[in-house]
Amino acid sequence: MGLKVIGSGLGRTGTLSTKLALEQLGFAPCHHMAEVLMHPETIPLWVDAGSGKPDWDAIFDGYQAMVDHPGCRYWRELMDVYPDAKVLHTVRDPDKWFDSTQATIFNPARPTPPVEPMKSFFEQINAWYGGDMHDRAFMTGFFRRHTEAVVAAVPKDRLLVFDVKEGWAPLCAFLGVPVPDTPFPRENSTEQFQARLSSGQAPVDLEKVMKSRGGG
């Protein structure tokens, strides 16, 4: 099938909402960290990719789109592998992004899982940032540099820099599809993320994700 949309935006930039939106627009299924949680058997493939031995056809077998970690790290490579795919770069205010990461995916109170291959998987994500993930100046600087690199490298006709607050219109125009008559998805806020963790659930609503991608 091959990817039609490559998400280069970092996690906590509305990526789960974007995943659900893309799937509603017909780009289903869309890969996201939630897919890794649902399919832990794919983690060794991601560890191999982080070690310079990617098998993108295996990783994205059956997928039409990708957003969020871990795929956003590989946007340059994926642009070459899928030359017809468009690049969707989700953004938000860098300081609000940092605050969100510290309360959720990079919360210092959440240790790296101790068991392989999950341990190596998350260590590779952390190492990609290359600095103190709890330092505001470092992380907001990384966020800005990441966006600058994407904007500089991706042809303008292939790129949309997108804030989910903008809703359907720019996304649908970019992808050449009709605007739905339903509200744009709003999912996985900091409060929702924390509430699920505190109740012992997965950090995202996996049941909703399953329904969005056709049940499997």
- Distance in angstroms (rounded) separating the CA atoms of residues 32 and 18: 10
Predicted TM-score (pTM) of this structure: 0.88
Indicate the pairing of strand 86-90 with strand 30-31: unpaired
Tokens of 88: 């969707």
Residues near 115 by beta carbon (within 8 Å), at least 6 away in sequence? none
CB 47 within 8 A of CB 118: no
Q: Residue 42 carries which DSSP code?
A: G
The domain that contains 107 carries what CATH number? 3.40.50.300
Q: How far apart are CA 17 and CA 9, in angstroms?
A: 13
Distance (Å, whole) CA 30 – CA 109: 29
Closest CA to 13 of 126, 146, 136, 109: 146
CB 139 within 8 A of CB 98: yes
- Residue 46 structural domain: 5-212
Total tally of structural domains belonging to the chain:
1
pLDDT in tens, 134-160: 999 999 999 999 999 999 999 999 999
- Write the pLDDT tens digit of every residue in 162-206: 999 999 999 999 999 999 999 999 875 445 544 444 455 555 555
Q: What is the pLDDT of residues 153-163, one digit of tens each?
A: 999 999 999 99
Helix axes 136-153, 94-103, angle to 10 degrees: 120
Collapsing DSSP states into helix, strand and coil, what is residue 174?
helix
